[in-house]
Amino acid sequence: MTAQASASGALPVTDAGPDPALASTLAPALAAQGVGVVIDGATLLDGVDFDARPGEVHALIGPNGAGKSTLLGVLAGDRPAASGSVQVEGRPIGSWRLRELARTRAVLLQQHDVFFPFTVGEVVAMGRAPWRGTSAEDDDERLIAAALVQTDVAHLLGRTVPSLSGGERARVALARVLAQAAPTLLLDEPTAALDLRHQEDVLRIARARSRSGDTVVVVLHDLNLAAAYADRITLLAGGRVVASGSPDAVLTGERISEVYGQPVEVIPHPRTGAPLILPLR
């Protein structure tokens, strides 16, 4: 089994993917320390520490209003923090130029409405904008085509985005992010509008990107998807970190019942052994 460079150059991998033990020792691609966000007198984040490393899928979970999307926005550099610090690849996030940052991290927002009649092809091609004028432009057609196929929207290429269903729009938005080919992906509820098959497809894509050496941070409401696909999970509630670690360590019945206010039972999946969260009804 031979070692090879990852797609982003960040993580040495073998033919079977990155060595999990090695991934856990690498410097974080993203790191937040003591982050606080206050808007209109409301504390949305309070002293949050977080990191995400190359070669892993790190899921952010928590009830509505926990601060998941706010934290993702701070990590992306799209929302300023009132306190604390954020570093991207070891550099303060404020020191990055916008285009330079766009070549380093790609962001999928919760809201991805397109009101102008752009075609699917035009929207996905927008993901290549940060690379305009560089030698990476030579990869535009290949990366756009690959993103269209990965997200199952190639057959929609000539359709205008406003004419699509909600799930189709969500997949087009993801294709744009994938075409950007940044080594860090920040995905905010990428499965929310999708059917069962496409939910699984999105998380399989996230896992494949992490196994190639990229860093993936994903906000999820579905705890079973987080348990199945995440290498690490951070549970937020009330703007604070409740727990962070492996799915087994974070997703305990007592903790989930308390945080979500809904009694649950956590059992091992009969085939994979991953935690399976079942509401008590």
Q: What is the DSSP string of 155-223?
A: GGTTSBGGGS-HHHHHHHHHHHHHHT--SEEEEESTTTT--HHHHHHHHHHHHHHHHTT-EEEEE-S-H
Q: What is the enclosing helix (H) or strand (E) of 259?
A: helix 253-260
How are beta strands 57-61 and 232-237 bridged, if at all?
parallel
Higher-pLDDT residue of 276, 116? 276
pTM value surpassing 0.85? yes
**What pLDDT score was predicted for residue 72?**
98
What whole-number distance in Å separates Cα of residue 178 and Cα of residue 151?
9
**What pLDDT score was predicted for residue 5?**
33
Q: With 90 as the cut, is the pLDDT of residue 12 above it? A: no
**Mean pLDDT across the stretch 129-154?**
97
Structural domains of the chain in order of their starting residue, each with its CATH number: 13-104+183-279 (3.40.50.300), 115-181 (no CATH)
Q: With 90 as the cut, is the pLDDT of residue 100 above it? A: yes
Name the β-bridge partners of 14.
Answer: 17
Q: With 80 as the cut, is the pLDDT of residue 111 above it? A: no
Burial class (CB in 10 A: 0-12, 13-18, 19+), 183: buried
What whole-number distance in Å separates Cα of residue 211 and Cα of residue 204?
10
**Neighbouring C-alpha atoms within 13 Å toward the C-beta of 202:** 32
Q: With 80 as the cut, is the pLDDT of residue 150 above it? A: yes
How are beta strands 83-88 and 30-39 bridged, if at all?
antiparallel
**Residues ≥6 apart with Cβ < 8 Å to 245:** 232, 233
Report the chain's mean pLDDT, rounded to a whole number. Answer: 92
